[in-house]
Amino acid sequence: MTTMIQVENATKSFTMSYQRSLKQIVLAKARGRKTHDVFNAVDDVSFTVQEGESIGLMGLNGSGKSTLLKLVSGVMRPDAGSVLTRGRIAGLIATGAGFDPQLSGRDNLFLNAAILGMSRAETLRKFDEIVDFADLGKFLDTEVAYYSSGMKARLGFAVAINVDADIFIADEALAVGDRPFKRKCKRRMDEIVASGVTMFYVSHAPGSVRNLCSRVLVLDHGKLAFDGDVDEGIAFLEYNDDDDERGRGNADDGLGADI
């Protein structure tokens, strides 16, 4: 079986500053106070993902999930250790990531597709399918600066799912948008999993993870605390299914107030 993702002792550190100005830093040092701290968002994490596996990445807020996803996607590089991937990677890391707010939805469609590795010819070939999935109507030629979060999610997801990828990654991709769009995303992601594409999915929703994933990784303060069965991983986190997707409401999928 082919290894698609290999993470070995990966660590990613960030600096948290306590003072903003040079004057504050000088005064803090003169008084013997700390000016900053270094913390590991991802701390010595190792795992491998085989071709066709569907991995759910879970953990409490601040556990390092999004940072690990960015390492896997290549947006960030580890400060120590290594992260190796095979093939083309596509997906959503954040709603509207890579969008230029001054460009129209149409222009951002081509821009985002290029960022994800699609040629112009490939984008043109899939243009109608992308536009149909995004369902932006006449607002396709409106500047993205005036889009709501739901509209950005629809456009970003529509582009990402039409990339012929070997690894598909998503960070709470189904958490933004109205119910019909969530259902459409869910159906498409089911198709991606069924096609044998390797899936790497971050979510707090046990139901979504159970439906999409065959294995769970749990991060705790940047460290890999669990790697194994989906139900066991959810139990490890002590997540309550009664809270799954409940009370979140529907994100605004219309236009923002500025248009």
Percent of the chain with pLDDT over 70: 81
| pLDDT for 202 beyond 80 | yes
Cα–Cα–Cα angle for 207, 210, 213, rounded to 5 degrees: 135
| pLDDT for 239 beyond 80 | no
Q: State residue 157's pLDDT score.
A: 85
Q: State residue 174's pLDDT score.
A: 54
Q: Which residue has the higher pLDDT, 77 or 243?
A: 77
Residue 17: pLDDT band with limits 50, 70, 90: low
Q: What are the residues whose beta carbons fall under 8 Å from the beta carbon of 122, sequence distance 6 or more?
A: 113, 164
Residue 241: pLDDT band with limits 50, 70, 90: low
Q: State residue 23's pLDDT score.
A: 67
Residue 91: pLDDT band with limits 50, 70, 90: confident
Tell me what the mean pLDDT of segment 30-48 comes to: 82
Tell me what the mean pLDDT of segment 59-73 comes to: 90
Q: Which residue has the higher pLDDT, 26 or 89?
A: 89
What span, in angstroms and rounded, lies between the C-alpha atoms of 38 and 100? 32
76-85 pLDDT tens trace: 899 999 999 9
Q: State residue 251's pLDDT score.
A: 36
Point out the least confidently predicted range of 34-48, 96-110, 174-188, 243-257.
243-257
- Return the sign of the alpha-carbon dihedral for residues 214, 192, 253, 113: positive
137-191 pLDDT tens trace: 889 999 999 998 788 888 888 888 888 889 998 876 555 567 777 788 888 888 8
Q: State residue 245's pLDDT score.
A: 46
What span, in angstroms and rounded, lies between the C-alpha atoms of 136 and 147? 10
| pLDDT for 130 beyond 70 | yes
Correct CATH for 54-77+88-243 of 3.40.1440.60, 3.10.180.10, 3.30.530.20, 3.40.50.300: 3.40.50.300
- Determine the angle formed by the axes of helices 120-134 and 105-115, rounding to 10 degrees: 130
Tell me what the mean pLDDT of segment 193-200 comes to: 90
Cβ-count burial 199-218 (b if 16+ within 10 Å, e if not)? bbbbbbbbebbeebbebbbb
> What is the β-pairing status of strands 198-202 and 54-58?
parallel
Residue 74: pLDDT band with limits 50, 70, 90: confident
Question: CB of 175 within 8 A of CB of 250?
Answer: no
Q: State residue 188's pLDDT score.
A: 86
| pLDDT for 204 beyond 80 | yes
Tell me what the mean pLDDT of segment 15-32 comes to: 68
Boundaries of every domain in the chain: 54-77+88-243
Q: Report which DSSP code applies to 162.
A: T
Exposed, middle or buried by CB within 10 Å (0-12, 13-18, 19+), for 144? buried
Exposed, middle or buried by CB within 10 Å (0-12, 13-18, 19+), for 15? exposed
| pLDDT for 97 beyond 70 | no
